[in-house]
């Protein structure tokens, strides 16, 4: 039984590697990693998140609210990047594929 499960999991893994959803997701993830502009935006967003937590902890609400507004604008700009848009679509497609596989497995 254990060998059958192992064999099945290896076969599923092999099939998934070639699935169009996986290929597209991996391609876009790699393109994002290699894009200096996107990497800089991500670092900036992370820094802003950290700063927001620190401002909230310090009870500096005016500065916090200002930074939240700036963060929302920066995040909207980031989310509008075509590479990010396509990545999020690919991520959703991949998630749907995984859920479909999960449902099939549950039936057995």
Q: What is the per-residue pLDDT across 34-87, written as a single tens digit (0 to 9) for each?
A: 999 999 999 999 999 999 999 999 999 999 999 999 999 999 999 999 999 999
pTM attached to this predicted model: 0.81
Q: CA–CA separation, 33 vs 9, rounded Å?
A: 29
Q: What is the per-residue pLDDT across 3-12, written as a single tens digit (0 to 9) for each?
A: 777 887 888 8
pLDDT reported for residue 105? 78
pLDDT reported for residue 12? 81
Structure letter (DSSP) for residue 59: T
Buried b (16+ CB within 10 A) or exposed e, 80-91: eeeebebbeebe
pLDDT reported for residue 17? 85
Cβ burial, residue 25 (10 Å; 0-12/13-18/19+): buried
């Amino acid at each position: 039984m254990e060998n059958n499960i192992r064999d099945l999991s290896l076969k599923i893994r092999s099939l998934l590697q070639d699935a169009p959803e996986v290929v597209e997701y991996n391609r876009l993830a790699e393109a994002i990693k290699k894009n200096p502009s996107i990497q800089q935006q991500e670092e900036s967003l992370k820094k802003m998140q950290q700063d927001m937590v620190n401002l909230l902890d310090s009870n500096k609400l005016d500065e916090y609210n200002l930074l939240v507004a700036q963060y929302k604008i920066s995040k909207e700009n980031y989310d509008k990047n075509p590479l990010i848009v396509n990545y999020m679509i690919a991520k959703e497609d991949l998630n749907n594929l995984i859920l479909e596989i999960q449902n099939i497995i549950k039936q057995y």
